[in-house]
A and B are shown apart, each in its own frame.
Chain A
Amino acid sequence: MSRIGIPRTLAYFIYFPFWKVFFEELNQEVIVSSPTTREIMDDGVRDAVTDACIPIKLYHGHVADIASQVDYIFGPRLVSVRKHGDFGTETFCPKFLGLPDMVRLSMDNIPEIIDVRVDLKQGKDEFFKVCSRVGVFLGKSEKEVKKAYHRALKVQKRFKKLLYQNIMPPDAMDILFAQGERKPLIAQPDLQIAVVGYPYVIYDDYINGRIVSLLEKENVKIYTQDMLSDKIMNRQARNIPKSMFWYFSNRAVYGALHYMQQKNIDGIIHITAFACGPDAIVDRLLEIEAKRHGQVPYLAIMVDEHTGDAGVRTRVEAFLDMLRFRKDKS
């Protein structure tokens, strides 16, 4: 049995249920890095290349957090999750493409990285093949892998179903794995706000200045792009001149556009990370689109390594005041 380390950032918030079940079914111990702390942030800033964006630095920090406790770091090279036969050239951000190499070459004393390449355009059953490669690496038989794969898929499906019921991914994971209580959904929300952005920013409480709990305390119902099915999202591709190249960016853009068209949504908050390359485009595009969708209220919050809770709070409170004022007036 090996100990497999999974950094609690980047794709974790969307794909963790699958990999947790997959590895555990293969008799591996899964160790997740702790939720982001100042120390993790500091380690990341120290280890990663200066010019990198905050999420990439954070990833380095999470790797450092578990490096000494595990035999392997599970850090797949995420290239594309477009399905085979699907027209399009969507990939992940170039930094994701080079991430295993960046980590390997800029950090000392880290365990071997399982950097299996995930490029689902390659063929119909590519995802199973990816899992097989991981299984073979761990010395497992095809039969064992198949069993683990199907179990994991089932759990991932349940996870997605929970998301589609407007449950936030961290809460959904609690329900799946920690027998957590279902948080009661806000029955009579004051406001309904779509929070869009990258999962590793909007679901990471430390880096985003606890914006989610802040909004919940203010009796706001939160929607995110991850609560929408692919079908709903992909419809939005037609509404912009050209889609983004990057998977997570397209999700944020499609999600935001969808919510801009929903009558019940009072405003959009886009959380973006400092020095994120794609967001230089995404953010301006959303700003202009919000204007064109009949002046939908739009707030962009850029988070970085020292976004204090206070800074986020001020901006969010002002935004909520503005929305309430608008509502009262109409």
Chain B
Amino acid sequence: MKISFPHMGHSYVALKWLVENTGHECIVPPEPSSRTLDLGVRHSPEFACIPFKILMGTYLEVIEKGAEVILTSGSKGPCRAGLYWVMHQYILEELDVGVKVVAFEPPLCDLKDFFQKIRWVRKTGGLSLKEFVQVLRVTWEKLKAIDEIEKLSHEIRPYETNRGETTRKLWQALDMLDAANNEVDVEDALQEGQKLLQGVSQDRSRNPLKIGIIGEIYVVLEPAANHYIQIMLGEMGVLTDRSIYLSSYTSKNTIENREGDVLEVAKPYLGEAPIGGHGANSIGETILYAQNGFDGIVQLAPFACIPEIVAKSIMPAVSRDHGIPVLTLFIDEQTSKAGVQTRLEAFVDLLDKRRQVKAKRGIERLVI
């Protein structure tokens, strides 16, 4: 079968390997472009959020390339994303494009359904259970390695002396991971890639501003949706860290001293958690970043994102109490790169000035 899936950051490297090694043909989803968005907007409800529209466009693009099956995920809510596959399927049926949407719901919701779908993918590919488990294992290692490499690139970019070098090295490292075919290969490629990135010529005397990126998972993870905000900030000389990576392994390690439960620290502000999506996490992570010496927070969310709107309304109080500025960017199809850039530049100016004032006064924290 010709199988495709949503595009989300660099995860396609691992997912492509998974599909191909399960005995299927992979239609690799293209990086979302303005065409993707146009297609998506045309066929989506007006008030659906931008992830819905980009995915809609991506599905139509992979269908053009011959995809017969689209694998995606569901969720138990209450964020809308868990219902997207339902609507995508409805709309694709109306368009009569002859594609099957197969959504994996969390095993906790419906264990039987989950295993039936997994089994179907495996059997149609002609793999034994043992072979399939091995394929999954390598895929998982790849996902982790991709996240680690990307994370390292964000740590190095603010120090680079030649613009773009980090990005180029990151791509080389991803190519090496792409070529890896077993767990040993992946490990080697990861180490090789890390070496490459560390070899980027850097000015370590810089003391970059530190910004934590929080918000809704899709616009945080998909650079094409957020106008490559982490690269943009990195090239402005800002060190960024984000709380969400696709592999949960790394997500546990993204904020130092993260043992303190994110949702627990959010409690004084939000009496209910989770509230769907990453709404409650956004509150908690802002507090943790503030406690870990970050200079500012950028909250990324799709326009009309329900959980992040709740978070945004609470954010001024969090920002005030913890003395950390927060810039909220709601993204929709009309958001322009120039608009994002202007706001980020002004935000970085603000943080920079704050840091200078703080240093002058020699106080720990400046409450605005």
Contacts and interface: CB of A to CB of B under 8 A. Distances in A.
Interface of A: 48-49, 51-52, 77, 79, 89, 91-95, 97-98, 100-102, 105-106, 115, 117, 240-242, 244-246, 275-281, 283-285, 288
A275 B47 contact: yes
B313 A48 contact: yes
A271 to B, nearest CB: 15
A42 to B, nearest CB: 18
Interface string B288-310: 00000000000000011111011
Nearest to B310: A98
B312 A51 contact: yes
A105 B316 CA distance: 8
A22 B67 CA distance: 59
A243 to B, nearest CB: 9
A275 B304 contact: yes
Report which residue of A94, A245, A280, A284 has the largest number of chain B beta carbons within 10 angstroms of its beta carbon: A94
Contact of B309 (A51, A281, A285): A51
Contact of A242 (B48, B86, B271, B272): B86
Given A105-B316, A285-B90, A242 B275 contact: no
B313 A277 contact: no
Interface string B261-287: 000000001111001110100000000
B314 A101 contact: yes
Contacts of A97: 78, 272, 275-276, 310
Contacts of B303: 51
Contacts of A277: 47, 49, 80, 304-306
Given A51-B304, A94-B78, A95-B306, 5 more contacts: A97-B275, A115-B271, A117-B271, A245-B276, A277-B47
Interface of B: 45-49, 52, 74, 76-80, 82-83, 86-87, 89-91, 94, 109, 269-272, 275-277, 279, 303-307, 309-314, 316-317, 330
17 contacts: A89-B78, A94-B78, A94-B277, A94-B306, A94-B307, A98-B310, A102-B310, A241-B86, A245-B83, A245-B276, A246-B77, A246-B78, A277-B306, A279-B47, A280-B49, A281-B83, A288-B90
Nearest to A241: B86
A165 to B, nearest CB: 33
B306 to A, nearest CB: 4
Contacts of B272: 77, 79, 97-98, 101, 117
Contacts of B90: 284-285, 288
Contact of B80 (A98, A100, A241, A278): A278
B332 to A, nearest CB: 11
Contacts of B52: 280
A106 B304 contact: no
A144 B312 CA distance: 41
Contacts of A246: 77-78
Contacts of B276: 91, 94, 97, 245
A79 B316 CA distance: 24
A245 B78 contact: yes
The DSSP consensus for interface residues of chain A is: mixed
Nearest to A279: B47
Contact of B275 (A94, A106, A283, A284): A94
Nearest to A103: B313
B190 to A, nearest CB: 37
Contact of A98 (B82, B86, B275): B275
Contacts of B313: 48-49, 52, 98, 102, 105-106
A101 to B, nearest CB: 5
Contacts of B82: 245
Contacts, number: 124
A225 B3 CA distance: 41
A105 B314 contact: yes
Contacts of B307: 94, 98
Given A94-B307, A97-B272, A98-B279, A281 B78 contact: no
B77 A281 contact: no
A280 B271 contact: no
3 A-B pairs with the lowest CB-CB distances in the bound complex, closest first: A245-B77, A49-B313, A98-B310
A240 B306 CA distance: 23
A54 B19 CA distance: 44
Nearest to B266: A101
B337 to A, nearest CB: 21
Nearest to A242: B86
Contacts of A49: 309, 312-313
A77 B45 CA distance: 29
A94 B304 contact: no
Given A89-B77, A94-B276, A288 B94 contact: yes
Contacts of B80: 245, 277-278, 280-281
A91 B78 contact: yes
Contacts of A93: 78, 306
A102 B309 CA distance: 10
Nearest to A80: B78
Contacts of B314: 98, 101-102, 105
Contacts of A98: 270, 272, 275, 279, 307, 310-311, 313-314
Contacts of B330: 51
A244 to B, nearest CB: 7
Contacts of B316: 105-106
Contact of B45 (A48, A89, A281): A281
Nearest to A274: B47
A304 to B, nearest CB: 12
Contacts of A117: 271-272
Given A51-B309, A94-B277, A105-B316, A100 B87 contact: no
A281 B87 contact: yes
Nearest to B270: A101
